[in-house]
């Protein structure tokens, strides 16, 4: 014991903070976790978990429609939003209690209230000061709303989980994870959905072919796409909202949702008292051991804006506790992290996009296939899935795997293991498929093309020749 009230004081009871606190306590540290809202953080309370439950809920409507092609006679079905939210709340409450129990069993003291830093060894909660040898900031991030006229009329992902009723129509601003996911949720539950995005394609940073594919799939599923368009103003009109678009169009909807990114929770937590300067995005800069510029103060999870995913925050928190309290120094590893967007269809990937792979490796070989899944044969749904592998040109080591399909998230997890193990295209080819499945396409892909991304659609002879030349040169080196 260090002579302080605690060996570790964690600010924030979300995924990263709770994991760090539990593991540190397991190593014998005296730990406190302060949480101002509810234990579990964004993921459990108003993120991944309730979102996934709503995704499940929204899939039954389209599935009922599809079932007709398989001989089902569907008479009448209606959805009860209140019942869904009630059931979702019960499950979220259960998980919150699980978090409480886990911390309690680990001997971690939970303090309810907003914590602020007072110094490198001091934190204040509800006007009570506590001292600690180490402090971990794990305060997460919060939705950001663009500064437009009528911005206060918009809801964010924090609000939609507890709306009193499902909207009949909704305009969603943004083209990232949350926008794509909620477009599918609302559409599946029967709302008319407009997706308004300032870019020409959704999901910036993803593989370009994937971005094109998901855009057309969402449109095929009835989402009204308003690309290269922004919301300039919102006005209330009786029971509806008027949403003015840069294109000149005006949408009339029940709900306007901003899904325009999240800002690290660094405001008002006393960072000035420990001389920590946030970066341009408001995030706390840290090194690979999650150390901040202030000795004894660490940060993990979305507040550091590294890779804003729950498993990453958990990994960072665990690595921090191993390093500082377990005498097992471990850096956070952000390579080869699989990720998925729970849109409908889902988008999932691991490793590099074709564009990133070309930038890093010069020339790559790309194998892809877009096809109609078997289920669509009878459902008659206008649906295509995409699977894609990006291989290093010289070694054929797989650098990236991408999929747009229902259950893409379930498929990518196994591929992530293969990529971590350094699998090559030959390893994929040597593996037999599970038939009939979408996933088997990954082991039957043939006829790759060279890509250097000299053009956005690198399939012309000129590009092929240039790519081969690059490949030959890299082999000679
Ligand atoms: P994203 O960063 O994914 O997307 C934000 C979107 O909003 C982008 O399309 C961006 O456009 C657009 N945008 C930003 N500012 C403006 C503006 N002022 N006006 C108009 N459009 C704007 O953020 P999300 O909020 O969707 O999600 C936050 C993060 O949370 C994700 O990046 C991800 O890390 C995590 N998350 C993960 C999930 C998962 O794992 N399934 C689910 C949900 C969230 P542009 O591309 O042009 O910048």
What are the pLDDT digits (tens) for 453-465?
Answer: 764 444 434 334 4
> CA dist 123 to 32, 119, 442, Å?
11, 7, 51
CATH number at residue 115: 3.50.50.60
| Residue 468, in any domain of the structure | no
- My answer on whether 267 and 223 are in the same domain is no
Residue 30, pLDDT above cutoff 60: yes
**Pocket flag, ligand 1, residue 179 (CB < 6 Å):** yes
Residue 386, pLDDT above cutoff 70: yes
> CA dist 320 to 29, 49, 99, 101, 419, Å?
13, 25, 19, 22, 25
Q: How far is the CA of 157 from the centre of ligand 1 (A)?
A: 11
**Pocket flag, ligand 1, residue 362 (CB < 6 Å):** no
- My answer on whether 170 and 248 are in the same domain is yes
Name the residue at shortest CA distance from atom 28 of ligand 1: 261
Residue that is written with structure tokens 């959905």 in the block: 193
In the three-class reduction of DSSP (H, G, I as helix; E, B as strand; rest coil), residue 250 is classed as strand
The span from the CA of 199 to the CA of 325, in Å, is: 45
- Cβ-Cβ contacts under 8 Å for 238 (sequence gap 6 or more): none
**Pocket flag, ligand 1, residue 215 (CB < 6 Å):** no
pLDDT at residue 1, as a whole number: 58
Residue 433 per-residue DSSP state: P
The residue to mutate among 260, 344, 348, having the most atoms of ligand 1 within 8 angstroms of its beta carbon, is 260
**Pocket flag, ligand 1, residue 111 (CB < 6 Å):** no
Q: Is 435 a catalytic residue?
A: yes
**Pocket flag, ligand 1, residue 177 (CB < 6 Å):** yes
| Residue 37, in any domain of the structure | yes
Name the residue at shortest CA distance from atom 47 of ligand 1: 199
Name the residue at shortest CA distance from atom 21 of ligand 1: 174
| Residue 337, in any domain of the structure | no
The span from the CA of 212 to the CA of 219, in Å, is: 11
Nearest Cα neighbor of 254 from 190, 330, 317 is 190
Instruction: Provide the sign of the torsion angle of the four alpha carbons 216, 220, 223, 226, taken in this order.
Output: positive
**Pocket flag, ligand 1, residue 107 (CB < 6 Å):** no
- My answer on whether 419 and 309 are in the same domain is no
| Residue 55, in any domain of the structure | yes
Partners of 8 in the β-ladder:
31, 134
Q: Counting Cβ atoms within 10 Å, is residue 199 exposed (0-12), middle (13-18) or buried (19+)?
A: middle
Mean pLDDT, to the nearest integer, of 359-384?
96
Q: How far is the CA of 440 from the centre of ligand 1 (A)?
A: 31
What percent of the chain has pLDDT above 70?
A: 95
- My answer on whether 166 and 227 are in the same domain is yes
Residue 434, pLDDT above cutoff 70: yes
Q: How far is the CA of 339 from the centre of ligand 1 (A)?
A: 14
Number of folded domains that form the chain: 3
Q: Which one from 318, 402, 435, 471 is the annotated catalytic residue?
A: 435
Decide: pTM greater than 0.75: yes
Q: How confident is the model at residue 2 (pLDDT cuts 50, 70, 90)?
A: confident
For residue range 92-120, what is the model confidence (pLDDT) as tens digits?
999 999 999 999 999 999 999 999 999 99
Q: How far apart are the first and last CA of the chain?
A: 57
Quickly list DSSP for 10-30: EE--SHHHHHHHHHHHHTT--
- My answer on whether 62 and 188 are in the same domain is no
- My answer on whether 268 and 256 are in the same domain is no
Q: Are 338 and 348 in contact (CB under 8 A)?
A: yes
Q: How far is the CA of 292 from the centre of ligand 1 (A)?
A: 25
Quickly list DSSP for 31-75: EEEEESS-TTHHHHHHSHHHHHHHHHHHHHHHHHHHHGGGT----
- My answer on whether 401 and 252 are in the same domain is no
319 phi/psi in degrees, rounded to 5: -65, -40
- My answer on whether 41 and 180 are in the same domain is no
**Pocket flag, ligand 1, residue 200 (CB < 6 Å):** no
- My answer on whether 56 and 114 are in the same domain is yes
The span from the CA of 266 to the CA of 280, in Å, is: 12
The span from the CA of 271 to the CA of 99, in Å, is: 27
| Residue 465, in any domain of the structure | no
Domain that holds residue 352: 345-446
- Rounded to the nearest integer, the mean pLDDT of the chain is 94
């Amino acid at each position: 014991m260090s002579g302080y009230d605690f060996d570790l004081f964690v600010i924030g009871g979300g995924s990263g903070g709770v994991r760090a606190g539990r593991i540190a306590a397991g190593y014998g540290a005296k730990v406190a976790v302060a949480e101002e809202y509810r234990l579990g953080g964004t993921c459990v309370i108003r993120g991944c978990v309730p979102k996934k439950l709503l995704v499940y809920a929204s899939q039954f409507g389209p599935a009922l429609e599809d079932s007709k092609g398989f001989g089902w006679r569907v008479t009448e079905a209606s959805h009860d939003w209140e019942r869904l939210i009630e059931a979702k709340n019960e499950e979220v409450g259960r998980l919150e209690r699980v978090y409480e129990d886990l911390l309690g069993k680990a001997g971690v003291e939970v303090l309810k209230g907003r914590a602020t830093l007072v110094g490198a060894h001091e934190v204040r909660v509800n006007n009570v000061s506590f001292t600690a040898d180490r402090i971990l900031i794990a305060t997460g991030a919060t939705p950001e709303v663009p500064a437009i006229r009528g911005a206060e009329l918009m809801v964010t992902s924090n609000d939609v989980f507890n709306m009193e009723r499902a909207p009949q129509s909704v305009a969603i601003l943004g083209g990232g994870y949350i926008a794509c996911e909620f477009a599918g949720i609302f559409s599946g539950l029967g709302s008319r959905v407009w997706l308004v995005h300032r870019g020409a394609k959704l999901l910036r940073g993803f593989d370009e072919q994937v971005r094109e594919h998901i855009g057309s799939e969402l449109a095929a599923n009835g989402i009204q796409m308003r690309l290269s368009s922004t919301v300039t103003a919102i006005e209330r009109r009786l029971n509806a909202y008027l949403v003015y678009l840069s294109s000149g169009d005006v949408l009339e909807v029940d709900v306007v949702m901003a899904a325009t990114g999240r800002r690290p929770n660094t405001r008002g937590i006393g960072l000035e008292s420990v001389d920590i300067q946030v970066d341009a995005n408001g995030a706390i800069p840290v090194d690979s051991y999650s150390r901040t510029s202030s000795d004894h103060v660490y940060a993990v999870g979305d507040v550091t804006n590294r890779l804003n995913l729950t498993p990453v925050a958990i990994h960072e928190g665990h690595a921090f506790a191993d390093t500082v309290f377990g005498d097992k120094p471990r850096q956070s590893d952000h390579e080869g992290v699989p990720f998925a967007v729970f849109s409908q269809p889902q988008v999932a990937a691991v490793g590099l996009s074709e564009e990133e792979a070309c930038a890093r490796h010069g020339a790559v070989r790309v194998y892809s296939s877009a096809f109609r899944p078997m289920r669509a044969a009878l459902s008659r749904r206008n649906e295509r899935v995409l699977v894609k592998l990006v291989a290093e040109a010289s070694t054929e080591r797989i650098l990236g795997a991408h999929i747009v399909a229902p259950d893409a998230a379930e498929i990518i997890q196994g591929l992530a293991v293969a990529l971590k193990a350094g699998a090559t295209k030959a390893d994929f080819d040597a593996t037999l498929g599970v038939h009939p499945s979408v996933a088997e396409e990954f082991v039957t892909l043939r006829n790759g093309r060279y890509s250097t991304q000299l053009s956005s659609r690198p399939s012309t002879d000129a590009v092929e020749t240039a790519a081969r030349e690059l490949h030959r040169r890299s082999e000679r080196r």
